Amino acid sequence: MAQRYDVTFDGGSLGNPGKGYGSYVIDTVEERGEPVRLDFSPNSEVVTNNQAEYRSLIAALVRILENDGDGPSVVIHGDSKLVLEQLAGRWKVKNVGLAPLHRQASGLLGEFSSVSFEWHGRANSVKRLGH
């Protein structure tokens, strides 16, 4: 049976667009993960909050696939309705800056045996990720 991962992700930018940051945590049935912090502007790169959201999720998916390439399943938790609805195929990607990130995330999701999305309020992201 494929390993199940639960990913909670969040991203943002100071100034929108501005300095990008993000974080994610990966949990399994056996282990509760620790939050991983990300800096998307080490060279003063300007990103939007939605780009930071996508980048945070992509980083988590890459990490899972690097450690478990045997068709794992994933449940994705986040407060970004835009990212979750776009990846679920219910909303179109209209922003040209998000299109490549959407393609990358969709490609990674294709490596999983099953994928589901669960939206939660901002307070849940803050509680789980600490920001």
Span 84-118, pLDDT tens digits: 999 999 999 999 999 999 999 999 999 999 999 99
HEC-encoded secondary structure of 21-80? EEEEEEEECCCCCCCEEEECCCCCCEECHHHHHHHHHHHHHHHHHHHCCCCCEEEEEECC
Rg (CA), the chain: 14
The torsion angle over the Cα atoms of residues 105, 111, 113 and 119, rounded to 10 degrees, is: -10
The pLDDT of residue 69 is 80
Give CA separation, 49 vs 30, 66, 95, 104, 131, in Å: 32, 26, 13, 17, 14
Strands 46-47, 18-28: pairing is antiparallel
User: What tokens appear for 123 in the block?
Assistant: 């307070």
Indicate the pTM of the whole model.
0.97
User: Which pair of structure tokens corresponds to residue 37?
Assistant: 């912090």
Domain boundaries, the chain: 4-129
Q: Within 13 Å and on the Cβ side, how many CA atoms surround 92? A: 3
- Residues of the chain where predicted confidence (pLDDT) is lower than 70: 1
pLDDT of residue 90: 97
The tokens for 129 are 């990720």
Looking at domain 4-129, which CATH architecture does it have?
Answer: 2-Layer Sandwich (3.30)
